[in-house]
Structure 1
Amino acid sequence: MDQITQLTSEPWVLIPAYQPTETLVDLVESIKRDTNFPVLVVNDGSAERCRSIFETLEKKPGVVVIHHAVNRGKGQALKTGINHFLVVSSSSCPGIVTADADGQHLPSDILRVGLEGKTGSDLILGSRTFADGVPLRSRFGNLLTMGVFRAVVGQKITDTQTGLRYLPRAMLPKFLRIPYGGYDYELAMLVETVKSGANIREVPIETVYIDNNSSSHFNPLKDSLRIYFVFVRFAGVSIATAVLDFAVFAAAFSLLGNIFWSIFASRLVAGTFNFAASKRVVFKSETSVAPELGKYVALVVLLMVLSWLSTEALSGLMNGHVLIAKALAEGALFLASFAVQRTFVFGANRG
């Protein structure tokens, strides 16, 4: 198969497989019958009872099977396939179509996603429609992840958990460097794409669930929670920043008795801490400090002015209870600060 794939300019189909059934054989046969796409299957440490399935696939022309000795997770299986593609394939191969092994992606949709992707540089998602017939755990998990993804990353994607994707060749080296190895890897791919300034495009596909999705190893709640740690990290940094900011403000106000200069002092100290922590811990930004620092200083000045005006106004309404007014003002500015940092300060240049 390696000789075939070195010459082809068609996308590969990459299928990670853990404890598959004969449905996988049917799927691969359908793909080979309906498309010219080479197929790469990664056996992610399946049990001995699955050996015959992989042996059958290995005998088929245009199909390669790579084996993991132990189960390493879907993300690691995808990375194994991506690495093999980059090592073996011709540079004329435009990218990879990923599909699940349980038969829930139709060959016609696999072909459509591949054809949509091969002519451009976008990451393509084959997005399902989550109607009443979709299993509750899948509907709930996708809705939850979609909401958090939009809040944290800043882009609306209707099906963040779809396994049917076109991955453009240019993005594959970046995907190989993602440290995750489970189902969170697919979510991290989307985050990395947005950070890189590349475009994500969705195309509708048929929604197919076999036996109420009983063969899936995906836990929508547990596996979706992994991406939420971005927001958790931010909350942790923000809490630490808020405590530092409030402590400096209280000390400065007790000495100066002036709201503006007390806020100025607290922002100077807490802002320095928050910039360093947000850059490295929360948003994992690796760009140079200078452009981000300029934008961050502008944000700090804006929030300082808003905090000052809000604290002055609230303290007037609360008969001079400055510390309570300061706490209320900062709480109201929390989400605005996160959204601005995510989009304009530490986010990628999206053109």
Structure 2
Amino acid sequence: MSSERPYPESVILLPVHRPSVHLDELITGLLTDGADAGRIVVVDDGSGPQARPILSAARSRGCAVLHHPANRGKGIALKTGFRYAQQHHPGLNVISADADGQHSPADIRRVASRAAPGRIVLGVRRFELMPPRSRFGNTVTRSLFRAATGRSVSDTQTGLRGYPAESLDHLCGIEGERFEYEMNVLLDAAACGRPIEEVAIETTYLNGNAASNFSSVTDSWQVYGPLLRFTLASLPARA
């Protein structure tokens, strides 16, 4: 292995709800790949007692494990992780990833290597390899995002993202508690003219993405709602 750090200047943030063995597998892979255990932050979003053994294992390996007593949503979990990174690892970028088997250490390393001040980095998947439900949802949101902002993003729903250290305060102030938060972050970047860079990653779905906590009806509306509100709010300016 090269003497160069494989995850330069980065905190790896893993928001989880009812995590499975995939969390332990990902942490094992990250540590084997050279990640610093002290820079891996797991945010447990109200998983309950059944998750204690898996979360205790992560803590015993040196990872930081933060808890929400009740489920508050992915957006809140990300903000909890951002604030922890600011306090305990100031000046480091944050790489958020899903711990449901979709993202590998190699994927996370690719995004971490491209993280830089002033830009968000997205790990984007290949559409033709997605399950039909995920492919349809991403096609719709990608089209709506382009119509609303005039900017193209290949994978609006990816959970693998790189956030620059200097933007964490701003990111904590963006509205959104659940899955809509990640869309609001992209809309904010588009509105402010901030760069959104894309990095190709592997397209991995286990059992048709059965481990995902995304609800097709409720959470889809949470994603589409911000897009529609952004479009309506911009209509006077475009007129």
TM over 0.5: yes
1:113 pairs, out of 111, 126, 131, with 111
Q: Residues of 2 paired with 1:110 and 1:194: CA distance?
A: 23
Conservation of the 8 A alpha-carbon contact between 1:35 and 1:111: no
Partner of 1:84: 84
Q: Residue by residue, what CA displacement relative to the aligned partner does 1:77-123 show, whole Å, maximum 9, x if unpaired? A: 001000111122133x2x100000102101001011001114x4321
Q: Which amino acid aligns with 1:59?
A: S
Q: Which moved more, 1:9-18 or 1:182-191?
A: 9-18
Q: Percent identity?
A: 37
Q: Residue by residue, what CA displacement relative to the aligned partner does 1:209-234 show, whole Å, maximum 9, x if unpaired? A: 01110010113554233344356547
1:179 alignment partner, SS class: coil
Q: Residues of 2 paired with 1:12 and 1:28: CA distance?
A: 13
Task: Give every structure 1 segment of 4 or more consecutive aligned residues whose post-TM-superposition deviation is greater than 6 Å.
Answer: none
Q: CA deviation at 1:34?
A: 0.6
Task: Say whether 1:123 aligns with 2:124.
Answer: no
Partner of 2:188: 192
Q: CA deviation at 1:165?
A: 0.5
Task: Say whether 1:341 aligns with 2:237.
Answer: yes
| 1:210-289 map, 5 Å | 210-230=206-226, 232-233=228-229, 282-283=233-234
Task: Say whether 1:69 aligns with 2:66.
Answer: no
Residues 34 and 142 of structure 1: CA distance in aligned 2, closer, same or farther (over 3 Å): same
Q: Which amino acid aligns with 1:18?
A: H
| 1:91-170 map, 5 Å | 91=91, 93=92, 95-118=93-116, 120-131=117-128, 133-170=129-166
Q: Residue by residue, what CA displacement relative to the aligned partner does 1:51-98 show, whole Å, maximum 9, x if unpaired? A: 10000001113x10000100001111001000111122133x2x1000
1:172 alignment partner, SS class: helix
Q: Residues of 2 paired with 1:341 and 1:117: CA distance?
A: 32
More helix by share: 1
2:121 alignment partner, SS class: strand
Q: Residues of 1 paired with 2:32 and 2:156: CA distance?
A: 29
Q: CA deviation at 1:196?
A: 2.4
Task: Say whether 1:29 aligns with 2:33.
Answer: no
Q: CA deviation at 1:47?
A: 2.4
Conservation of the 8 A alpha-carbon contact between 1:141 and 1:221: no
Partner of 1:298: none
Which 5+ residue runs of structure 2 have no aligned equivalent? 1-6
Q: Which amino acid aligns with 1:35?
A: G
Q: Residue by residue, what CA displacement relative to the aligned partner does 1:215-270 show, whole Å, maximum 9, x if unpaired? A: 101135542333443565478x7xxxxxxxxxxxxxxxxxxxxxxxxxxxxxxxxx
Q: Residues of 2 paired with 1:234 and 1:161: CA distance?
A: 17
Using structure 2 for the length normalisation, give the TM-score: 0.89
Q: Residues of 1 paired with 2:223 and 2:31: CA distance?
A: 35
Q: Which is higher, the Rg of structure 1 or of structure 2? A: 1
Q: Residue by residue, what CA displacement relative to the aligned partner does 1:131-171 show, whole Å, maximum 9, x if unpaired? A: 1x421110011001101111112211010000001001122
Partner of 2:3: none
Q: Residues of 2 paired with 1:106 and 1:35: CA distance?
A: 13
More strand by share: 2
Q: Residues of 2 paired with 1:65 and 1:113: CA distance?
A: 22
Which 5+ residue runs of structure 1 have no aligned equivalent? 1-7, 238-281, 284-337, 346-351
Q: How many residues align?
A: 231
Partner of 1:321: none
Q: Which amino acid aligns with 2:56?
A: E
Conservation of the 8 A alpha-carbon contact between 1:45 and 1:69: yes
Q: Residues of 1 paired with 2:89 and 2:174: CA distance?
A: 21
Q: Residues of 1 paired with 2:64 and 2:187: CA distance?
A: 30
Conservation of the 8 A alpha-carbon contact between 2:142 and 2:154: yes
1:101 alignment partner, SS class: coil
CA RMSD of aligned residues (A): 2.1
Q: CA deviation at 1:50?
A: 1.1
Using structure 1 for the length normalisation, give the TM-score: 0.62
Q: Residues of 1 paired with 2:110 and 2:227: CA distance?
A: 35
Residues 218 and 234 of structure 1: CA distance in aligned 2, closer, same or farther (over 3 Å): closer
Q: Residues of 2 paired with 1:9 and 1:204: CA distance?
A: 19
Q: Residues of 2 paired with 1:221 and 1:204: CA distance?
A: 28
Q: Residue by residue, what CA displacement relative to the aligned partner does 1:12-62 show, whole Å, maximum 9, x if unpaired? A: 00000000111101101111221334200000000211110000001113x
